Structure 1
Amino acid sequence: MKKVFVHGWSFSSKIWENTYKSEESIFVDLPFHGENQKKYNLPVIENFSEELCSLIESVNEDVTLIGWSLGATVSVLTSLKKPKNLKKLILIGFSPKFKDKEIGHNPVMIKAFMLALKIDFKDTVYNFRKTAVGDFFKNIPLPEKEGSIHLLKEFINTDITGRLKEIDLPTILIHGKKDKIINYQASVYSHKKIKNSELILTDCHHAPFMCKNQQNINDVIIFPQKF
């Protein structure tokens, strides 16, 4: 089974490579991140989701789609297009409505963050990475400023709470209870709405797959067909 990975905002596909690089892995960069610097028609998330759907259908075998944070939202939207060979979803640090204090992030803090991005993009991104995963990750290039800010705005204004019931794939939700970016209650909420879902909560930050002593998380991601 092929595994297609979609990273979170401000990072790149390189965040996965040390742990999950294999012949079965396909790493995708979000728009304006990493090597994906091409122009997209608006809305960007929808058009990227269409592109991801086409990529999945071009793979001549079953696929598990693994999305983290904004990448998890993209993964859900892609799954709703029902690519014929997509068989499983793994959603890490997912929120169906980011601009929501209970199942996302405090809207007041989001507004302040967006202002900070405009004033000092570089340091704000590095500080975001530090808050999210405990490291600045300066080895990962910064995303393109204007495009990535627009992408983030689209994510902030996305609300797919009403579409969770449409997900008909086996779905695993993984969330760190110490997540400072997205309230882990977002995954608790989503688990209740997605019929064929499993919830895994960890004592970790926004990226449980990067925490130490989380072999069970790595097992789920590396061998999704067993879960």
Structure 2
Amino acid sequence: MEIKKIFIHGWSFSSEIWERFKNIGNSVFLDLPFHGNNINFSDKDILNNFSENLFSYIESCDEEVVLIGWSLGATVGVLTALKKPKNLKKIILIGFSPKFKDRQLGHDPSRIKAFMMALRKDFEGTVYNFRETAVGNRFTDIPLPEKNGSIKLLRKFIEIDLTDRLDEIDIPVVLIHGKRDRIINYNASVFCSKKIKNSSLILTDSHHAPFLEMPEIISDTLI
């Protein structure tokens, strides 16, 4: 039976970011809460509830599952893996940070604070600037996420610290990170590769979304 692939995008984008992978068989492309087609999501305990929903979905699958998460979507992948769904066989984490509010493992806390203030003042402009920093001048046509809910989701992401739980992951993990990533320090994935027992690390000469420049990097790791 063919393995099911579940893709989860990063903050401010949508499942449209995976457009080059839509031809991969038996694949599901999920939208984060308050993004894409998932606008009407409860803002209570957002990350945990979303990962709990994903856990239940994976448990209901008849086949083995590989979870591919990018940026905030990678954090969802780890939260789900820590719940240990029986059918989850591998997670692929792209641009992952176990602690975003950290200069070495994520991003400069002072810049994060300034960014959150900018979101409140000019949500649309700040989101588009973020997208350009993350992936370049692409995907400007992806609809904006819902403002209040997406900001709450981002705050939850900023608050989370998974550094002491990485050794609980007991399935294979592939860590992919671009060395030119301006959103999350690539040393975050280097750190995680030393903490997660069954992990492999792929560093690329690319930005926050290496799968856009090298789509084969995903295909090669799905095997």
Output the TM-score relative to the length of structure 2: 0.96
- Cα deviations by residue, 1:115-167 (Å, 9 ceiling, x for unpaired): 00000000100010000001252211000000000000000000000000000
Query: 1:68-87 alignment to 2 at 5 Å?
Result: 68-87=70-89
1:218 and 1:202 map into 2 onto residues whose CA distance is 13
Deviation for aligned residue 1:17: 2.3
Q: Find the residue that maps to 1:161 and give its secondary structure.
A: coil
CA distance in 2, matches of 1:39, 1:113: 24
Aligned to 2:8: 6
CA RMSD, 1 decimal: 1.1
| DSSP-derived class of the 1:162 partner | coil
Aligned to 1:130: 132
The amino acid that maps onto 1:34 is G
Partner of 1:48: 50
Instruction: Give the SS at the match of 2:164.
Output: helix
Matches of 1:167 and 1:136, distance apart in 2: 34
Pick which of 156-165 and 54-63 moved more: 54-63
Q: What is the identity, as a one-letter code, of the residue corresponding to 2:160?
A: T
Do 2:106 and 2:188's aligned partners in 1 also have CA atoms closer than 8 Å?
Answer: yes
Amino acid aligned to 2:219: D
The CA deviation at 1:220 is: 2.5
Unpaired segments ≥5 residues, structure 2: none
List, as ranges, runs of 4+ consecutive aligned residues in structure 1 with deviation greater than 4 Å: none
Alignment partner of 1:158 out of 154, 157, 160 = 160
CA distance in 2, matches of 1:111, 1:71: 21
The match for 2:218 is 218
Deviations 1:162-194 (A, max 9, x none): 000000010000000000000000000000000
Corresponding residue number in structure 2 for 1:192:
194
Structure 1 gaps, min length 5: none
Q: Which moved more, 1:27-36 or 1:39-48?
A: 39-48
What's the TM-score, normalizing by structure 1?
Answer: 0.94
Distance 1:132 1:16 in 2: 15
Aligned residues: 221
1:26 and 2:28 are equivalent in the alignment? yes
